[in-house]
Each structure stands twice: as structure tokens, then as C-alpha cells.
Structure 1
Amino acid sequence: MNYDYNNQYQTTSYGAQGGMSGGGFVNQYSSQGGSQSSPGSASKTYGKETLRPVTIKQLLEAKQPHPDAEFKVDDVEITQVSFIGQIRNISSQSTNITYKMDDGTGTIEVKQYIDSDAASFMDTDSGPSKPKLVEGVYARAWGRLKAFNNKRHVGAHVIRPIQDHNEIQYHLLEATAVHLYFTRGPPEQFLGTATDDAFKQESSSYGDNAGADAMASNGRSLPQMSPAARKVYEALRSGPQNGEGMHVHQLVNQLGMPYPEVLKAGDELLGNGSIFTTIDDETWAILEF
């Protein structure tokens, strides 16, 4: 998925399925614009069409500054939306088929208009091996959020049954990821923040040099480790290299660290393969690699 703060984001391989070949989703929308949107709406949003994964709750709570404005989710305009829900009811009229859909966060009506151009997108003749749009099945809908007489519905361009139920969980995760992106920012800005804060706090307890990157004697970086583990490792590396290593009590006296803290650090180093036990479980030596 690709997102940015100008509301430009693209769907993934799941969103590219379901009768959307031959020019793509936007081209299909344009070909059916007469039955799906009001006059002039295509020109109003030309050049800034987006496709956003959402939940029904987000659609029901979307804000619309005024009747002619686009709806907003997380203060970001939405044009095309995609969501997955279970079909609770199907109502057929002469001009459209209305599906009442529920995704666990809310229910909304999805209207798919009937005309000759749309016939190829209907799943009424999908064959015995493929699920059909019937009550009880899960389906993915692509369309535009609309409001009529203070009641919201989605004008669907495409709606198809779900065949791989992993897609349901995938969609909810994708909708969550996009929501967090626009409300909290890119995930990159949070990487390492909690670890760095904890590292600085623990480093102040054991001296300024506790945070130095531990390196093996051959110059290779060691696995990531806590500041306490780094101090124990450095003590072992700088100690006598006689094959026997150092006992926990020696490390406690040398480093001035509590006995349980040294044991915990040793367990961490043993776990990531940086040291090994020698004559007993509390005597350790550096494992060169």
C-alpha cells in the first residue's frame, strides 16, 4: 500500500480483483458515470479520484461540510471507497439491486444500478463453482458514498462475493493501517522511539558507556541487546581470555550491578548466542563468530 498526506493511496492485489480488468477501476467508473453519479460530479473530482479501504462505521460517521462537498474520513476527502460486509438482505427493483451489508461495525445499503453496460459485472451467471451474491455471503463493494433524504448509501460500481475469507481480515487490517496513517502519521516516525527511550534510561543507571554498540572482535555487529547485556558482554570481552571465562560473582563485583540483573543479562546473551557457559551454568565466555 502507498499513502501520503495528499490523500493519494492505492489499493493492493485484493482490491484489483473482481471484474476490474480492461482499463481498471476508474475507467469502469467513468463508463457508468451516468447511472452512478449526478451531472458534473466527474468533473468536480477529476484528477483527484482515490480508492480508500474503509469500514461501514467510517462511512456512517464521515463528515460532509456541505451537501455538494465530498465526504471526509479522518479529515481527508474520500471519493471512491472499498469495503467488505455480509449481505443481510437483497431487494431488487427495476432500476437497481439494493444490498443491505453488515461488517460488524455497522450496516449500510449498497445500490447497484442495472443497465446494459453493468450486466457484465453482475454475478448472476458466475457458474456453479463460484459463490453468488445471495443473502449470508460476504462481498466486497467498490463505489461512492452518497446521501439522499438524510440517509446514506453506497452507489456501487462493482460488487462481488468473497471467495478467500482471508480477504476479510486483510481488509480490516488495511482499513486500520490507513486510518492510523492519516491520524497519527507514517509508521516510520515511531520506529525505535520506545527502545531508544528505555535504552537511555537504563544507560544512565550503569554509566555513559553502557549504550556503546557491542562489536565482536572480528568487527561484526552483535545482535541487538539491552544496555545491561552490553555491559556484561564488554566485561567478558575485556576479561582474561583463558577459555574458562568469568563467573557471575566476578561480573557483579566488577560492574557494580545487582546479581539478578547480571543473571538476566547473561540469559539474554546466552539466548542470542553471544556467549556460552563453560565449567558451570554461571561461568560464561565470549562466543566468537
Structure 2
Amino acid sequence: MSYGGYEFNADTTSYGGADPMQTSPNPASSSDKKPRKPTSDQFLLPCTIKQCLKAASADGQLLVDGQDPHQIKLVACVKSKEEGETANTYELEDGTGLIEVKEWINSTSDGDHARARRALIQPNCYVRVVGKLSQFGGKVNVTAWHTKLVASPNEVTHHFLDAIWCHENATRGLINGSVKSEINGISTGVGFGPQSSGVALMDTSTGGGDKKHVQDYIQQFSEETEQGVALRDIVEALGGKGVSESAIRNAIQGLSSDGMIYSTIDEETFKYAM
């Protein structure tokens, strides 16, 4: 399989299992929109396709491991791609199942960067998808807010480890604020605070220091414009706090890999994914 120059084959069968942008040419009227979730419930959940397909419907919501994620993240191989004037439709497979993903196209606002990014996604490539679970005709699918080619096989491994961690946390729960496992008699614990198992609420997803400063800035200002926040503005704002441009670029790369932010009109303009 192709990862921007890497070749990788993996058997993942052993694993368990539109807020930021306009999602369709004919969005529902404002009177039909559901109330926005509280901030505490707006988390990004990494999961497998099998988990998505097994999502239980409750009161019109699709629950993954009993949770109603604000958004989900998949990393999977493109088996087929159907291009259209208003949307691209992909069939993705990750070793646990097959699912249809639809990415709506806004021809009036999409720039050259967005079009070039979509053109790179072809069958037999691995992609990272951030989007929302939906159901039509009894079939679960994904409406994608953002799709991007996976650059390294390490991202596939990282994603499945994230998905396993969140699945175990949601299904087995916490013990005294820690996730504990025993392997060959050795007990290990990972402590954290919030009860949700989504990535946005995990200590390891956002890190601290410079990465947290960058995330907070993008989260605060990305909704002020349709395009998002420019790198130069982040550098200017955080430079006064002693954060170097190289540290900001490293933080952006990490946040993008975690699915917390995504690029918009070019590679140096970003919006928050939550």
C-alpha cells in the first residue's frame, strides 16, 4: 500500500473492533439544526471501521462503545473512489471492515490546495479521515470533514493504538482514575482526569507547553474566518510568549497528525477540528 512514497502491508484483523465546513450543497435550515453540544462532549474518537459498523442507534444517535462522539477519526486503505461534481465517495477498508465515506465539495470556496489534496487520494493509498458517523437506509457511513493522504506507516500503527486505548477505556472503564493492565504479572497505569475516552480529552493527545499554546490559539480564533488561522498570525501572536517558529511548526504537525486541526486553503492555514 502507498503512503506518500512508503510501501506497507499490515494485517489489522486482530484489532477490536458538519461543524467546521459546509457538508452538503443543500444544508438544513437554521430552524432544523440540532443544539450545539457542550464543550465537554465535543471530542474526537479514533476508531476502527468495525466499531463504526457496529455503532448502536439510540434516539437518532450512533453510539460507539456507548459514546456519542462529536467526530470520529479513521485511518484506512482506499479500495475505490468515485468522483462527482458535488462530492467524492470512497470505499475504505482497514482490516476490520468496509465503509463508505462521502466528502462534499464546495466549488465556490475550495482552493487549489483542497483540490490538489483530493487528487492525491487514489485507490490503494492509505488516508486519514475526520468526520461524522451517519446512517441512511439502515447503512452506516461517514460524512468526511477532512481527508488527507497518510505519509508514513507509523501513523497507521499510532491510530490503531489510539483506537484500542479508547475502546478499552470505554468498555472496561477506569480504576481509581487510571487505566491499568497486567502483563506477565507487571501492572502499569496511565492516569488522567476526564471521563470521556475521546482523543481530545486524553492527556497524550494535546501534550503541554508549546503544543497546548498552539492548540488553544487555533481553537480560539479559527472560527472567526471561513479559511481559518494563518501560520504567520500564530507565529506573530505566540512569538511574544517566547514560542519559536520551529516549535510552532512542530506543534502544528503533531496536532494535524492527531486529527485535532486540519489545513484549509493551503498548507499554512488551519482550522480546529472539534
| TM interval, short-chain normalised | 0.5 to 0.7
CA offset digits 1:217-259 (Å, max 9, x no partner): xxxxxxxxxxxxxxxxxxxxxxxxxxxxxxxxxxxxxxxxxxx
Which amino acid is the alignment partner of residue 65 of structure 1? A
Query: Which residue pairs with 2:71 in the alignment?
Result: 80
Q: Does the 8 Å contact 1:36/1:155 carry over to 2?
A: no
| Separation in structure 1 between the aligned mates of residue 106 and residue 165 of structure 2, nearest angstrom | 36
Cα 1:195–1:56 change in 2 (3 A) is closer
Higher strand share: 2
**Residue pair 2:83, 2:89 contacting (<8 A) in 1 also:** yes
Rounded to whole Å, the distance in 1 between the matches of 2:49 and 2:69 is: 13
Deviations 1:100-150 (A, max 9, x none): 000110010110011136624865425xxx991011100010000111111
Query: TM-score, normalized by length of structure 2?
Result: 0.52
Cα contact 1:121–1:158 (8 A) shared by 2 = no
> 1:148–1:89: structure 2 CA closer, same or farther, 3 Å change rule?
same
Picking from 5, 26, 32, the partner of 2:22 is 32
Map of 2:46 onto structure 1: 53
Distance 1:162 1:131 in 2: 14
Within the alignment, does 1:164 sit opposite 2:155 as a pair? no
Question: Per-residue deviation at 1:70?
Answer: 2.0
- Fraction of identical pairs, as percent: 26
How far is 1:46 from its partner? 5.2
Contact 1:56 1:103 in 2 (8 A): yes
- Structure 1 residues 131, 120: CA separation in 2 closer, same or farther (over 3 Å shift)? closer
In structure 2, do the counterparts of structure 1 residues 36 and 189 end up closer, same or farther at CA, with 3 Å as the change threshold? farther
Equivalent AA in structure 2 for residue 147 of structure 1: Q
Deviation, 1:38, is: 4.7
* Equivalent-residue separation in structure 2 for 1:176 and 1:192 (angstroms): 16
Partner of 2:213: none
The reply on whether 1:99 has 2:90 as its aligned counterpart is yes
In structure 2, C-alpha distance between the alignment counterparts of 1:38 and 1:46, rounded to whole Å:
21
Q: In the superposition, relative to structure 1, how do residues 94 and 116 fare at CA in structure 2: closer, same or farther (>3 Å)? A: closer
TM superposition shift of 1:154: 0.4
Whole-angstrom CA distance in 1 between matches of 2:43 and 2:112: 21
In structure 1, stretches of 5+ residues that fail to align are 1-27, 197-289
- Cα distance change on mapping 1:91 and 1:182 into 2, 3 Å: same
User: Aligned pair in 2 of structure 1 residues 139, 42: CA closer, same or farther (>3 Å)?
Assistant: farther
Tell me the CA shift for residue 189 of structure 1: 5.6
Q: Is the 8 A contact 1:123 1:133 kept in 2?
A: no
Q: Letter of the 2:51 partner, please give it.
A: Q
Structure 1 pair 177/191, CA: closer, same or farther in 2 (3 Å)? closer
Q: Select 1:43's aligned residue among 35, 40, 58.
A: 35
Structure 1 pair 150–186 and aligned structure 2 pair: CA distance change class (3 A): same
- In the alignment, the residues of structure 2 paired with residue 156 and residue 36 of structure 1 have an alpha-carbon distance, to the nearest angstrom, of 16
Q: Which has the larger radius of gyration?
A: 1
Q: 1:64 aligns with which of 57, 64, 78?
A: 57
Look up the match of 2:137. Answer: 149
Partner in structure 2 of residue 182 of structure 1: 170
Q: CA deviation at 1:191?
A: 6.4
Higher helix share: 1
Instruction: Check 1:166–1:46 CA distance in 2 against 1; reply closer, same or farther (3 A cut).
Output: same
- Paired amino acid for 2:125: V
Contact 2:80–2:91 (8 Å) recurs in 1: yes
Aligned counterparts of 1:119 and 1:37: Cα–Cα separation in 2: 17
- Distance of 1:175 and 1:29 partners within structure 2: 22
Q: Deviations over 1:43-94 (max 9, x none)?
A: 253543221001000000000113xx32111111122100111000001222
Q: Is the 8 A contact 2:62 2:68 kept in 1?
A: yes
Aligned-residue Cα RMSD (Å) equals 3.0
Q: Quick one: structure 1 residues 77 and 112, their matched pair in 2 at CA, closer, same or farther if it must change by over 3 Å? A: same
Describe the shift of the 1:189–1:41 C-alpha distance in structure 2 as closer, same or farther (beyond 3 A). Answer: same
**What amino acid sits opposite 1:119 in the alignment?**
D
